[in-house]
Amino acid sequence: MNTSQAKRPAHLRLAPVDGVTERSSDTAAHPPAQKGAASADSSEVALYAGFVGAAAPMLRDRSSGSGLSLRHAGSELPAHTAASCLLQAAPGDLVTYSVLDGRAYVLHVLRRAETEGARPEIRLPADTLMTVASGELSVRADRVGVQADDLTVSTQRVEFRAREAQSVVERAFSVIGQLDAVWTGVKLAGTLWRSVFDRHESHAQNHQRSSTGSDHVQAAVVDVQAEQLACTRAENVAVDARTLVKLRGGQVHIG
């Protein structure tokens, strides 16, 4: 194999554009290219620095979707965002870019424009998978917000810790094998409470139930037991039995 015909490795060169100072690691071996001129060696990719502007409506490229432009060699080119540049450029930002096949690609955002109210945006392509090979992934911020049409969390164990929590859900459905909860205080308010169990048990030191309307109990057998006193008070009390009524006690007082 003739080594002299082997393909030369690609070189990156930062070229001056629009008065931005040139910085090159090897200017002697690779002299600066003329503005807009293609490199004599196709293995070289020139890097340019410039300020991003808003593209005119007639120059907006739908394939870029950014609506931005770059002034290059006296011409305005639609600005495409490179796949590796996650931080989205905005008008007034100082960026590095390359021109390939008549298209300008933003590679890095060097300095953000001092625009009041502008928030940096990190944009990922569609159907992105973020993988951590081992260890943990930590996110630390004063506030974290998630907005999505559909959110799925699949894990072996989940733990939430907060001093205060608030949840607003129009409709919820859950399937839980076993639920153990320890509450110091519970308050529930609603228009309808309905529960269905094979067996229901409750225990309390003091139990009080109040109904402004009617209170109905329907069962095959109703058994009320009290260790000291069982009392029924009302303006009118009716006891109705179909076959038999029994009153039994050491003493029975009527009237």
pLDDT digits (tens, 9 = 90+) for 159-194: 999 999 999 999 999 999 999 999 999 999 999 999
More confidently predicted of 39 and 127: 127
Nearest C-alpha neighbor of 48 from the set 67, 29, 28, 75: 75
Lowest-confidence region among 27-31, 117-121, 122-126: 27-31
**For residue 114, what pLDDT band results from cuts at 50, 70 and 90?**
confident
Residue 64 has a pLDDT of: 52
* Average confidence score pLDDT of the chain: 81
Convert 68-104 to b/e letters by CB count within 10 Å (16 or more is b). bbbebeeeebbbbbeeebebebbbebbbbbbbeeeeb
Sequence-distant (≥ 6) Cβ neighbours of residue 46 within 8 angstroms: 12, 13, 14, 15, 33, 39, 98, 99
Nearest C-alpha neighbor of 92 from the set 74, 118, 72: 118
pLDDT at 32 over 70: no
Residue 27 has a CB neighbour count (10 Å cut-off) of 13
pLDDT at 62 over 50: no
Lowest-confidence region among 4-18, 130-144, 204-218: 4-18
**For residue 8, what pLDDT band results from cuts at 50, 70 and 90?**
very low
Residue 13 has a pLDDT of: 56
Q: Are strands 68-72 and 103-111 parallel, antiparallel or unpaired?
A: unpaired
Average pLDDT value for residue range 89-97: 92
156: amino acid identity, one letter: Q
**For residue 66, what pLDDT band results from cuts at 50, 70 and 90?**
low
Nearest C-alpha neighbor of 44 from the set 82, 4, 12, 5: 12
